[in-house]
Structure formats: C-alpha cells, structure tokens
Structure 1
Amino acid sequence: MSRVWWGVVLFFFLFAFPVQAKDSTVIARVGPYTLTRADFEKELAQNPQLRALLSLKPEMKRVLVERWVEVNLLGLGGKEAGLEKDPRIRAEIEEQTRMILARHYFERKVLSGLKVTEAEMQRYYLRHKKDYTLPERVQAQHILIRVPEGADKKTEAAALAKAREIRQKLLAGADFATMAKKYSQDPGTRDKGGDLGLFSRGQMIPEFEKAVFKLKVGEISPPIRTRFGYHIVRISARIPAQVQPYKKVKEQVRKDLLEEKKNQRLMALLRELRKKYPVEVHLENLP
C-alpha cells in the first residue's frame, strides 16, 4: 500500500472504536469495531486530501474499507498477542492518546463557536489597512547583456560597451521592444520585447530593484550591473501604493480575523494550562 493510503487508513483507525453516530448504517464490522456511513462522511468532511483522492478515484472507497478491515484485524491480533504490555508499544499508544486528546481539546476550547461578525470584520479592516495595501509597482522592460561568472576585465568591458551602445540607440529613438528582441540575452523576456511585467519591491534582486525604482516613467536607465550582467531598463508605468477596497478583500479579512481570534484563544488557554501544570524546558540540552 502506498504511504498516502497508509496515512488515510490511520485516520480511519480512529473509527475502530464504537461511536454513537447520526447515521448508524453499517459499512463494515471487525469484532467489536464498527465503521458507519456517518463515520465515513465525517472523515470526508474533515480531510481534504481524502476527499480529493476519492473524487478522482471513487472506486478507491472499496479499497479504503478493505484496508480499514485489515488494520483492525491486525490490531485485534496484536491485542490478543499481548503487545499492549510491551513498554515501547505502550509508550507509542500513550503518545497517540495525548495527540488525540490535544486535538479534541483544541477543537472544543479554541475552535468551537469561533466566528466573526460583519462589524468586527470592518473594524479589523480599518485597523489593518496596511495589510490590504498593494505596494507601489512598476511596469518595466529590460535588455540584458550577460557577463559570465568569473569573466576577465576584457569580457566585462566589452559587455559594458555593448550595453552603452544599445542605450545610445534607445535614447536616439530606437524602439525598446525591437531592440530587446534583437540584443537581449535573457531568454525569458527577449521574445516579449524585454517585458518584465508589473512588480513591487522585494521581487527582484536588490541592486536591480534599487536602480529601477529610482527611474521616471519613460526614462532609459544607464547600464545596471547585477550578477547576471548589464541591464538597460525602461519604466513604462508606475502604479502608486493603494489600499484595496473592503469588498475586494472581505474574505481574506474574514480569514485573518478568524486566525487572530483563534490565536488569542489558544494563547489564553495555554497561559491558563501553564499555571495549572508544571513546565520545564532545557534548551541547553538540545543536541
């Protein structure tokens, strides 16, 4: 069985224990353990990976049920063999139990009833407008004359001279896109007339970005040296930073506010638990 399917089966292993479900229609039984339709539907609702797998291959539902049966048969065999008494296995069981308890406690104490109102969302948006602000962007074209890594002074000088020659032609009125298609050594943009599209600060290498954002619209830059070589750049448009309207980012605001509330609840819960249970951390003992 693939690692993915074993992971899915481990989710379903939770259903090996008797539960009271809304739909008690039985899909499979193994000894005292029952898998119901409600169990199956609940797992589908909570597991996007599983939903995706089964939507692509519905026939795998049968395989999943067969694996559920096999896992529980093996589990019953291990129980009969007394493996629960093995200290290492008992430690694993205890660890898994803690993880399951932690997940359900988190869901009950943090996620349960977590919601936001329209008024809260609008207040959050107003407080965090900077988070929904598109940064200043420029539309640029470039022509690259490459300089190989470790190039000697002669090669470096020749590349710079070529870049300066191209710039002079552009200043004299040559069409930038035509020149880029003819001379640029950037295969990713050459056939597009050197078009780099819209970009903001932080998306390009620092030395390129620093020079480009100083340019005025329509200005042709002097050769800009980067690790790739020499760039001649022209800015065709500059879009100032702008706050996106609430309606456009409403769903993102909802997600962000829910995340904030969730984190606040979690931090408060952990502070409460730290007061209740002793905690020791010895980072100096890390390997």
Structure 2
Amino acid sequence: MKYLKFFIFLTISLMVFSCSKSDEVVVKAGSSKLTKKELQEDLKSLPPQTKAFLATQEGINRLKDELIKREVLYEEAKKKDLAKSEDFKRRVEEFKKITLINMLLEQELKNLPQVTEKDAKDYYEKNKDQFIKPVEVRLSQIVVKNEQEAKKVYEKIDKGEDFAKIANELSRDEKTKSIGGDIGFFKKGQLNPQIENVAFSLKKGQVSMPLNLKGQLYIFKVTDVKGVPIDFEQIKPQLMEQLKAKKQQEWFQSYIEELKKKYKVEVNEKALQEILNQALIGGKPEQQAK
C-alpha cells in the first residue's frame, strides 16, 4: 500500500483551502495532523479531470473521509511503534532510493529536446509505408515444433538475419520453406481469425509472436501491405507520443551506459546466483549445492 498516496484518485480545487495560514491544520487525529501546506503538496500532481467531482459536496465528503482514514491509521501505526521496526527502516530507505532516482530522471528529461510537429511530419514522410490501413497483407511464415525451436528463430531475427533465410533453414513446413516461407497475399476474411488478428495489426516488416496452431508454433512476418494511406493529421498525436517515448528510451540507454563508465560497477555473480536459487527454488544455498 502507498500509505502517503492512497487517496491519489482524489483531487480538489485549492479554493477549498483558501485560508491565509499555510500551516493551518486541516485534519487532526490524536497527535497526528495534516496541514494545509502538506495537503496542497499531496494534491499538486493529481489529474485535473477529477476536480469536477470534488467541486461537489459528495466529492468534498469523499476527500474528507479519505483524509480521516489516513490520519487515524497513521496514528495507530505510531502507537504500535512500527516506526522503530527494521522492516520500516528498510522500506523508508527503499522509498528514498526510488524517489531520488525518479527525481534525477525527471530533472535530466527536462533537458531532452522536445518532439515537435515537424519531427513527426518528417518521420511520417520518410516512413509512409508504415502508415497504411491494410486491405491486403503478404505473409511469410516459419513453422516450428516447440518454444526451444522458436527461441532459435527469434535469436537469428534479433541478429538481423533474413527471415526468408531462417525459414529455409529452420521451418518445418516443407511447402513454403524453400521459398522463404512466403504464403502470399490475403484479404480480411481469408485467414484463420487468430492469424488475421495478428497479421492485420502488424506493420510492414514486423514479425509476430508465435501462434500455437494445431500443435505447432507459427511465426509470421508481414512482407508487404496494400491499403489506404492514413492521413498525417489523424495519427499526429499518437505519432508524437511514440517518437517521444522512443527518444526517451534511447536517451535512457545512453545515459545508463555513461553512468556505468563513470562509476565502478561490481557484481558478485556467485552471491547473486545463490540468492536467486534460494528465492526461486527454496531451501538454503548450501543445501542446493549438494
């Protein structure tokens, strides 16, 4: 439970707390109290869409009830001396670590250049074949017996090997492996519904996760798409969000690599494996070594 934020679904207009003293007590339970300033900080980052609800009397009553719950539970926890427990201290340290990490990332991300409409438009123009509402798709397939064989296929794909070459080497479908797994063009309604749902959700060049069909695993790749182009304005918001997420992910990976070089990193592989064995298998590490 996130005790300090368990009423996160609530927000409120600051007009409700329009008193002049910033440290004025809003809720008190025993020796525990919540001040106006603390509550304002708690509510600062909440979503605006719930403000309308809390503008009503029902909303204010709901907030008041949640605040009372928080303070009486906090008071009871203090009475039981839970703050002195080692578990509490461990959780506080973990919370501090996570909070500091989040603050660092928030700070660094502010310096990251924003994705502009021009960025999205340029990407759209260079990758128009990705933005087509498919009417027909051309598929290639690789058929394997089990997950172990599927893993080999994906390992080769991840290394950048040609799908057709992999199909020729590893596919168990004798009819299509010699032609790189190609099974031709299909319109909606011509495929098994399970295959169709996957095929028409993929973009050109994308590879599916394995589908279990008749006791075998099928891996599909969309090699061509025929359809109607999607207008830029229609997908602009989603495309900008995708590019933003991609930019942040690329930055994060680069940032982590920089930090690895900056700080000396050491991993005790033996200790790590012992802990994992104990946690996942059970028993003491020394027992598992026998």
| TM-score computed with the length of structure 1 as normaliser | 0.48
Greater relative CO (CA pairs within 8 A, separation 6+): 1
Larger Rg: 1
| TM-score computed with the length of structure 2 as normaliser | 0.48
